[in-house]
Structure 1
Amino acid sequence: MNTDALVKEGKLQQQHIEFYNQYGYLVAPELISLAEIDALKAETAAIFRGERGMVEGLMPVTPGEPDSEVLRKYVAIHFPHKISPAIFRFLSHPQIVNILAGIISPNVKCMQSMLFVKAPGKKGQSWHQDEYYIPTRDCSLTGAWIAIDDATIENGCLWIIPGRPGHIMRRVAYSGNEYADVDTVDLQGLQAQAIPVEVKAGSVVFFNGYTLHSSLANKTNDCFRTALVNHYMNAASMLPWDQDGKLPPTEDLRDIVMVAGDDPYAWKGVTEANAPYLRPEVLKIKVDAER
């Protein structure tokens, strides 16, 4: 991995901003303390045990059932910050927000959280660009991928193709065994540029909404690859996001959380449009791949 991509001790420098603008990603090694990571692990178990409120699809927990067996039943939950005060606080984690303010804008809002619990044997996520799913008007979409476990090639770490393509790339049908998706980006010879992003628990990977990324299956027998992923953007940009058709069309979805600076659209107020939901094993979101 290019050393210019590493934000050591959370100290963002001008060269990091320039690197992000060109290559679309940054890695902040062990940005989050181990005590905070331990708390996130406990919170993850509590959420999937139904202790933070019931979400449709959560299964009953038998007495004495260990956390590992509970978590093996699931892939991920979207919008956990809406039922978990601990996850909600992480949206505005000072160390994360400091970097976001440098690579996006002094004014930053968050529109989504996702809590992944990739258990041994679970499939990965195919190549994609987040902007395809969450459209912004100024290309400022940024993911903050927080490693709750060590992420390795064996347990399904992120893979990234450095760069920020200036367009949404063509998607094609996928029918293999590596990904839990029915389509993927047509890489057209870009595969050789892909790099694994292996990180220790507590590290945070930042990547732009146009940057290509994926993750492979967890091929271990006993290692989870749990991660909290929050999505942010420039607060000055409106958000025409209908949650993949789940919500009425809108020019500016106001189900957001301000994490830094000022909200130019504060006069619109905020809404509670989204609710937590469990991610399905096979993902068929916005499928329009050529077949």
Structure 2
Amino acid sequence: MADYTIGGVLSADQKQQFEQDGFLVVKGLFREEVAEIAGEFMRLHAGGPIPNCFHPVPEEQAKGDALKLYPRMMHPHRVNELAMKYMIHPKVMNVLADLFGKEPLAAQSMFYFKPPGAKGQALHQDQFYLKMDPGTCIAAWTAVDAADEENGGLVIVPKTNRFEVECPHAADPKVSFTREEVDVPAGYTAVPVNMEAGDVLFFNGSVIHGSFPNRSKDRFRRAFICHYADESTERIAKYYNPLYRADGSAVIVAVNEDGGPCGTEYAFTGAH
């Protein structure tokens, strides 16, 4: 077993909020570490493309598309030690153990640069992509910069954590870099989650969420985002093996061959 504990990390009120609303912000969890995280990923970007991770293009080819200059990095833990370090960092794994009530397993890492002018991300549910069975995932979304409504912060629909996967429709490509979108259910409201650098947002894989475009003139909205299963997970979408314990040891689970309730899940790379 690795360096994490089940119970005692979060207060009873924090665990109750997560259970009721589907999300929880842990203020300042990585306040001291965000400079190291930012510096390493900016170094990786300056080094150019990394196969199966990210593929930035020169400015003349981007034609004004900020996300072509600064595309998201997918699964950087597979190519970078620091990304692996923070994906399975005890600070995060301790919180996850409390939320799951079981041993957490890391499934995916991502890094979003989101420079000024970048599009947002249409409302979606993470479980649509990860297809964990049984249960659902939990995301840990670390704000590397302050994130708010101006520079492309997150919006979340509280209390949608008990929803099944909703089948999406086409998103507006003028404001979203992803192609599909789910609607806010009747009687629910999407609200902004403003965060300071170093805050970490934990949310359930069924929670509907997305982000604003970055309308600021000079502010990045960088974020390090990871997804987690728990030890009871038997199957997951094919892009996520192996999973990792907090001590870095690998765990292989069966591939979820089910096409999913919407029939379109395999049209994607399995990561969003």
Q: Whole-Å Cα distance in 2 between the matches of residues 173 and 33 of structure 1?
A: 37
Q: Does residue 144 of the first structure (1) align with residue 140 of the second (2)?
A: yes
Q: Does residue 241 of the first structure (1) align with residue 228 of the second (2)?
A: no
Aligned match of 1:116:
112
Indicate which of 47, 51, 68 corresponds to 1:55: 51
Q: Does residue 170 of the first structure (1) align with residue 183 of the second (2)?
A: no
- What pairs with 1:1-291 in structure 2 (closer than 5 Å)? 12-34=10-32, 36-50=33-47, 54-55=50-51, 58-59=55-56, 73-163=69-159, 164-175=161-172, 177-190=174-187, 193-243=189-239, 254-259=241-246, 270=252, 286=267
Letter in 1 for 2:38: K
Query: Are the counterparts in 2 of residues 49 and 61 from structure 1 also a CA contact under 8 Å?
Result: no
What's the secondary structure of 1:193's corresponding residue? coil
How far off its partner does 1:46 sit?
Answer: 1.5
Letter in 1 for 2:73: I
Letter in 2 for 1:161: V
What's the secondary structure of 1:26's corresponding residue? strand
Q: Whole-Å Cα distance in 1 between the matches of residues 58 and 175 of structure 2?
A: 29
Q: What's the RMSD between the two structures over aligned residues?
A: 2.9
Query: Are the counterparts in 2 of residues 128 and 213 from structure 1 also a CA contact under 8 Å?
Result: yes
Structure 1 unmatched runs, 5+? 1-9, 63-69, 244-252, 274-283
Aligned match of 1:249:
none
Check 1:50–1:161 CA distance in 2 against 1; reply closer, same or farther (3 A cut).
same
TM-score (norm 1): 0.75
Q: Whole-Å Cα distance in 1 between the matches of residues 156 and 68 of structure 2?
A: 26
TM-score (norm 2): 0.80
Letter in 2 for 1:203: D
Structure 2 unmatched runs, 5+? 1-7, 60-65, 256-264
What's the secondary structure of 2:229's corresponding residue? strand
Check 1:45–1:235 CA distance in 2 against 1; reply closer, same or farther (3 A cut).
same
What's the secondary structure of 1:119's corresponding residue? coil
Q: Percent identity?
A: 28
Check 1:152–1:237 CA distance in 2 against 1; reply closer, same or farther (3 A cut).
same
How far off its partner does 1:11 sit?
Answer: 5.0
Query: Are the counterparts in 1 of residues 142 and 198 from structure 2 also a CA contact under 8 Å?
Result: yes
Pairs aligned (count): 243
How far off its partner does 1:256 sit?
Answer: 1.1
